[in-house]
Amino acid sequence: MPAPLKSYRPSRNVSLLGLTSFFNDFSSEMILAIFPAFFTSVLKAGAGSLGLVEGFADGAANIIKIYAGRLSDSTQKRKPFMVAGYALSVVTRPVYLLVSSVGGVVGLRFADRVGKGLREAPRDAIISLSTPKDEIGRAFGYHRMLDTLGALGGPLVAYLILRTYPDGFNIVFITAFIIGLLAIASLVFVKDTVGDLKKNGIKLASIAAFPADFKRYLVALFLLAAGSIPVAVLLLSTQHIGLAIASIPLFYMLYNLSFVGFSLRAGGLSDRIGPRKVLRIGYAVLLLGYVIVALAKSTPILIVGFLVLGLFPALTDGVARALAAELSPPEYRAGAYGLVNATMGFGLMIAGIGGGYIWEIFGAPAALTVGGVFVMSGIIILSTIIVNEKKKNIE
């Protein structure tokens, strides 16, 4: 039987990095929440272009994630990569003031995602190495909770701005930049943490350094990510039932409200029953959300759909990182997260580009059906990863 859940008190590093992510996501999600409105009303573009931007931005920078993790392990330095990554993302935000084409948005989103690629693996390594093994799920759940609290506030502020100033996109961009500066400032107090580096002749972060379960896990993550249509595209479903453009950030806020409300509990559930089981539940919830959104013909049903969809990242984002920690040795931890983040990023690129164009050409039900097939394939492969969970139960 799983042990009863203890109260959780995050370490100093986990608390600080949660604060960093709170400010950064408050900033970045303000912009992401208005993207559908910005694309349709300013750039005069549709789901295909929006999916292309999100897919290319996430996918093209993924090679950075691999090398950032590798260099972090090689130098046993985490913090410099985080500072550089957050700074690069934040400085792109006021530049949206100058953008008037889809190509310009692609360039800025690419730079933003390069910053994400630089910081993610080293940040996740610090979280896992600053946490006892039996609390890793809750540590990532706590981090995702604060991350998503920021993502909850950002769309709300964006909505209030656009409601007051219907064409006030520039106000959103400037506000997002100011809040992003707070994220960079909070990194000053984070302490660098390293693993026990073993000079055993295996190239750091090389795929050969990891066990078979980890490699199988990467295949599953790729398929699961390829079936995860970006929420920016899913938000276009609000237009299909005739809602006003200014209401789009509110649906994104509902999505994040569900996310933040369950993140910490999902992390605790992962520590109790194992991250693999929780991941499977999470992707089953995603499939349910797809069905509800595809069938939604009214605002109340669409609200339910986005509340269900918000449970999906709560059950998967932090938990996926917790499972990666179980499947990888500490000395290769940042490299492991680099591979995990890159693999998921390439899958999300396919989901963004392919899902966006299928949505635009064949309709939402077709895009959601194709995504569901990828997710089901990933769940099947994920189900074969059992070795480490057995070991954890024995311990």
Q: How does pLDDT run across 339-377, given as a tens digit for each residue?
A: 887 888 788 888 887 888 888 888 888 988 999 999 999
Poorest-pLDDT segment among 111-125, 138-152, 255-269: 255-269
Q: C-alpha dihedral over 181, 25, 90, 340, to 10 degrees?
A: 130
Residues 271-314 have pLDDT tens digits of 788 888 889 999 999 999 999 988 888 889 989 999 999 899 88
Poorest-pLDDT segment among 40-49, 93-102, 186-195, 206-215: 40-49
Q: Give the closest residue to 236 by CA, choosing from 38, 28, 27, 25.
A: 38
Residue 142: both structure tokens together: 């706590």
Render 109-149 in DSSP notation, one character per residue.
HHHHHHHHHHHHHHHHHHHHHTS-GGGHHHHHHHHHHHHHH
Encode 34-67: b = buried (16+ Cβ within 10 Å), e = exposed: bbbbbbbeebebbbbbbbbbbbbbbbbbbebbbb
pLDDT of residue 47: 60
d(CA 137, CA 147): 15
CA angle, 206 then 228 then 357, to 5°: 110
Please list, in sequence order, all residues whose beta carbon lies within 8 angstroms of the beta carbon of residue 244, skipping any fewer than 6 positions away: none
Residue 251: both structure tokens together: 């649906």
pLDDT of residue 194: 64
Residue 187's CB: how many other CB atoms inside 10 A? 20
**With contact defined as beta carbons under 8 Å apart, do 32 and 46 qualify?**
no
Residue 203 pLDDT exceeds 70: no
Report the pLDDT averaged over residues 176-196: 87
pLDDT of residue 295: 84
Residue 391 pLDDT exceeds 80: no
Q: What percent of the chain has pLDDT over 70?
A: 85
**With contact defined as beta carbons under 8 Å apart, do 378 and 268 qualify?**
no
Residue 262 pLDDT exceeds 90: no
**With contact defined as beta carbons under 8 Å apart, do 272 and 316 qualify?**
no
pLDDT of residue 48: 64
Question: How many Cα neighbours within 13 Å face the side chain of 320?
Answer: 29
Residue 284: both structure tokens together: 């089953």
Report the pLDDT averaged over residues 129-150: 84
Domains of the chain: 12-192+205-394 (1.20.1250.20)
Report the pLDDT averaged over residues 137-165: 85
Report the pLDDT averaged over residues 191-201: 59
Encode 304-334: b = buried (16+ Cβ within 10 Å), e = exposed: ebbbbbbbbbbbbbbbbbbbbbbbbbbbbbb
- Which residue has tokens 């910005």? 38
What rounded mean pLDDT belongs to the chain? Answer: 81
pLDDT of residue 3: 45
Which residue intervals of the chain are DSSP H helices?
12-41, 47-60, 62-75, 79-92, 102-129, 136-164, 169-186, 212-226, 231-234, 237-240, 248-273, 275-295, 299-327, 333-362, 364-382, 387-394
Residue 357: both structure tokens together: 């164009």
Q: C-alpha dihedral over 164, 147, 205, 60, to 10 degrees?
A: -10
pLDDT of residue 45: 63
Residues 88-131 have pLDDT tens digits of 999 999 998 887 777 777 788 888 888 988 898 889 889 988 88
Residues 26-81 have pLDDT tens digits of 999 888 778 767 776 667 666 666 666 666 666 666 677 777 877 887 777 889 99
**With contact defined as beta carbons under 8 Å apart, do 259 and 285 qualify?**
no
d(CA 115, CA 83): 9
pLDDT of residue 208: 67
Poorest-pLDDT segment among 114-128, 191-205, 235-249, 327-341: 191-205
**With contact defined as beta carbons under 8 Å apart, do 138 and 229 qualify?**
no
